[in-house]
Amino acid sequence: MHDSHIHLAMEPLRNNYIDSIDAFLRDNGKYILTQGTDIVDFDENFQIAEETNKLYPNTIQVAIGLHPTFFEEITLALGIVEDVFEKCQKKMILFEDIFNKKKKKVSAIGECGLDYYQFSLNNEYTKEQKEQLKEIQKIMLRNEIQLAVENSLPMSIHSRDVNGSKECLQDAIRIIAEEGKGTLKGSFHSYTGDISQLNQIIDLGFHVGFNSIITYKSGDTVREILKKTPLDKILFETDGPFLPPQSVRKNKEIKEKFAQPKDIREIMEVACQVKNLSMEKLEKVTDENYRNLFT
């Protein structure tokens, strides 16, 4: 088993990661890709990987990137409305500097991408401010793609649309096609788009990440997408600590509900039913997908 997208530096995982990883490995777990999403958590992810890999060699890989909502969080969300692009550009330059110093420890660029959902919730932003955030996200994604291409690294892509819209995902696909030069690889994590966009992602050579959404009663659409995704393009993820599986969500005895690596087993059990495959077959092929992409 593998977990292709998790945030081990986020609480409550941060305080429990050794126990969580140990439980995952005892259940035939093999690989975990922990994701940095802003500059302040990069060092913690590297530290977690280093400490864990001393105990369990080659188990943890690290991705670092700037999450698309990061650019809102350091500007408009703080009431900063002047020189927004310049402030974001300085953070991107800092990210590139950190990457160049740490690149030997980096297995992927991510989590990065586009997110038009988060800022759409804030009614205090003007239309012009929201459009500016879109453009900043696009520019920064292009920069991160260029960094990935130059260093032959895969990417972990986040794309979240306003409900009912396809604009964000379509923009991400277009930018990857333009900047990836036909060589870029990676995964669209927590995919919830439609079949036509799924086919575009596959045509780009990208993989698709599925998580606990497929265990939810509301997950019919994503289960249908999983059914139509080629086996050699499937990855599994928890997106921990977010998105705990259905068994955790409905368990009233669990007070602190969060996703962790061992939850991959429940996700894959549902995937076996959806794909009509044995666990052995699903595990073998998808672990190979992970190895080919991130190790």
Handedness of CA 72, 115, 119, 46 (dihedral sign): negative
Left, alpha or beta for 28 (phi > 0: left; psi -120 to 50: alpha)?
left
Q: Is 239 annotated as a binding residue?
A: yes
Cα–Cα distance measured from residue 149 to residue 234, given in angstroms and rounded to the nearest whole number? 22
Structure tokens at 113: 């991408």
Q: Which helix (H) or strand (E) holds 158?
A: strand 155-160
**Does residue 49 contact residue 57 with C-beta atoms inside 8 Å?**
no
Cα–Cα distance measured from residue 215 to residue 57, given in angstroms and rounded to the nearest whole number? 31
Handedness of CA 264, 16, 13, 43 (dihedral sign): negative
How many residues belong to the chain? Answer: 295
Largest Cα span, the chain: 56
Q: Is 111 annotated as a binding residue?
A: yes
Tell me which residue has tokens 């292709």: 4
**Does residue 7 contact residue 241 with C-beta atoms inside 8 Å?**
yes
Q: Is 67 annotated as a binding residue?
A: no
Q: How far is CA 23 from the centre of its chain?
A: 22
Q: Is 158 annotated as a binding residue?
A: yes
The residue type at 105 = K
Q: Is 3 annotated as a binding residue?
A: no
Q: Which of 261, 263, 268 has the alpha carbon at shortest distance from 231?
A: 268
Q: Is 189 annotated as a binding residue?
A: yes
The residue type at 262 = K
Cα–Cα distance measured from residue 243 to residue 53, given in angstroms and rounded to the nearest whole number? 26
Binding site, annotated residues: 5, 7, 111, 158, 189, 239
Q: Which residues are known binding-site members for a divalent metal cation? A: 5, 7, 111, 158, 189, 239
